[in-house]
Amino acid sequence: MIRLKNAEQLEGIRRSCSLLSELFGILVPMALPGISTAELDEAARSFIVSRGGKPAFLDYEGYPASLCVSVNEVVIHGIPGRQRLEEGDIVGLDCGIDLGGYFSDAAVTVPVGKVSAELGQLLRVTRECLDRAIAAVKPGARIHDVSRAVFGHAVSQGYGVVRQYCGHGVGFSQHEDPQIPNYVSPGPNPRLVPGMVLAIEPMINLGKGDVRLLDDDWTVVTLDRKPSAHFEHTVAVTETGAEVLTSWSVPSAS
């Protein structure tokens, strides 16, 4: 069931998204060669708790951290640990905050130092997929319009699109209806109406779109072990279009 948000509830979600955006302003500059993925996670947890929030991912269905840190071929749900970032890596940072019962969700993939032109192009196109998806959000449109915007652009640029995982509703919990695939699936295709809040998140691979789940039951990697990028915003459907509730800034990949 899709749960619409009223004006008061949207304001609560905005506050959660604003806090999450502030967190990304701290985390992104920290993604430098030598830092461990555990250090990034601890920074996220400490910030969220210090500001009166709860890490939305921590203990969600057993997930053991506050932040998903996904390096290179890890698509999503990378568990933080001892791994240290290296020059030329790309790293996906995915986080959510529960602020007084209102949930936010966003992700960004960051170049670690100077990366190859090939990886820089992957990051650029994945961000463009997100931009095009958001541009498709308007009252009367359908979920498949959003999906088509992602898939069409990624494939036109020669990239693989992850099909097994998707965007979703958000706001009252971490994951709500509707699901938002990054391809035009045979599944439900509800119409967009004001009051819907969506987490739109293209996951685009340098190689093919196939992925597999590792034995930890969380970490998703590309089957061909080529790098993957992931960008996500929380977006509200308004009377006139879309309101992007989260923000982040990514350093140049060159």
Which domains, from first to last, does the chain contain? Answer: 7-244 (3.90.230.10)
User: What CA–CA distance (Å, rounded) separates 159 from 134?
Assistant: 20
User: What CA–CA distance (Å, rounded) separates 83 from 88?
Assistant: 15
Mean pLDDT of 57-70: 98
Termini Cα distance of the chain? 44
pLDDT reported for residue 254 = 61
pLDDT reported for residue 253 = 74
Across the chain, mean pLDDT equals: 97
Mean pLDDT of 213-219: 98
Q: Give pTM, 2 decimals.
A: 0.97
Q: Residue 18: phi, psi to the nearest 5? A: -65, -40
User: What CA–CA distance (Å, rounded) separates 7 from 117?
Assistant: 44
User: What CA–CA distance (Å, rounded) separates 63 from 78?
Assistant: 10
Burial of 204 (0-12, 13-18, 19+ CB in 10 A): buried
Mean pLDDT of 227-233: 98
